[in-house]
Structure formats: structure tokens, C-alpha cells
Amino acid sequence: MMIKKLKFYLLFLVILGLAQSCGQQKSDTVGESDSIEESSGSEPASTSIASPRKTATGEIGGVKITVDYGSPAVKGREIWGGLEAYDKVWRAGANETTSIEFAQALKFGETQVPAGKYGFYLIPKESAPWVAILNKDWNRDEHGAWGAYNYNEDNDVVRLEINPVWLEEVEERLKYTVENNSITLNWEKVQLNIPIGEQTAE
């Protein structure tokens, strides 16, 4: 009788251990899925993702402009000269390369730019105008572009110096808007207004 009870008890422990193992595997799978979703660059299912992918659209001179970017948050961190170093090319967003698409030719500053899609980068400066860059490379599959890691200066289309505006209030999440003849970036206490104009006849 004692042997039967012992066998039953051992069998119970084995079943219990298998159940706990399956539960742990399910939990690990969910964690991996969440991580993959966050780094995929796709539109997030919820605002819990660290740097959700966003799109800003608008028209300037009747021409549609689309900015596609990852939107990181400040989270109490030192951004300029801290998280984002001065004098270093920055992806102007989070995760995948930020892109700007012009439906027709427009002027980026004073430089006429053909219709198309471009990678957008910035070089923050501590005590000088920031540098805004349009580059031919924007797509990971076609150009190998991912953030600014594979940035190639030889493929720059135009560089433009812009004086940042320092605001009193903090913009928690990076945000782009397209209006008033400019593409505007706001994040932390910085505002950058990139002038965009209609194409002129040569």
C-alpha cells in the first residue's frame, strides 16, 4: 500500500513539473513576440511601445509631403549632448531611418529637390546652427539604411544649416508637422523649422 501511495505521489510531482514548464515556455514566447513587435518598425498596436512609428503629412504649395519616423520619448533624460551627441549624424528619430517623401519637386531651403523619397538626418550642434541632411539612402532592403549606422555622406542630396529654437516647455515625444512652408521637428525643448518652398523655373 505504501509503495502505491509513493508511486502516485511521484507521478503527481512529475505532472506538476511538466505543467509549470509549459507555463514558463508560454510566458517566454509572449516576451519574445513583444520584443519583435517593438523593433519591427511597423505601426504599433498600442502606445506601450517605446518608440512608435508615426507619419506626418501635409501640403506645401499644393505638393504632398510625408515624413515617416520613430517617435522616442524624453523620459527625464538629457537629450542634446547626452542621449543624442553633438557633432554626430543622428537619424532624426528612432529605430529605422527617418524618411521624407515629396510627391513633386520642391525646394529644400534654397536647393531644388526632385520628387521622391529621401533619408533625413540631423547633426545637432552645441553652439552653432544644426545641419539638416537629405540623403538618397532611406530603405533598409534597397540601400542597407538602418538609422544612421550605414549613413554615407557621398549620397547626400543637400545639406542645410538651421538655427534651433529653444522653448520653455518640454515636448515629451518627438513630433514632426508639415505646415506654414516648413517641416517642423519638436522634441524636448528644441524646435527646428526646415524651410520648404515651391519649385521655381530655371
Res. 32: pLDDT tops 90:
no
Torsion, Cα of 186, 74, 128, 68 (10° steps): -50
Contacts of 86 (CB under 8 A, 6+ apart): 80, 124, 125, 126
Res. 88: pLDDT tops 50:
yes
pLDDT band at 105 (very low <50, low <70, confident <90, very high): very high
pLDDT band at 35 (very low <50, low <70, confident <90, very high): very low
CA distance 52 to 38: 8
pLDDT at 158: 97
Res. 1: pLDDT tops 60:
no
pLDDT at 135: 94
Per residue in 36-66, pLDDT (tens digit) is 223 333 333 334 578 999 999 999 999 999 9
Choice between 112 and 37, residue whose per-residue pLDDT is larger: 112
Across the chain, what does the average pLDDT equal?
80
CA distance 1 to 7: 10
Amino acid identity of residue 120, one-letter, is: F
pLDDT at 17: 52
pTM of the model: 0.74
Choice between 142 and 71, residue whose per-residue pLDDT is larger: 71
Per residue in 152-192, pLDDT (tens digit) is 899 999 999 999 999 999 999 999 999 999 999 999 999 99
Res. 81: pLDDT tops 50:
yes
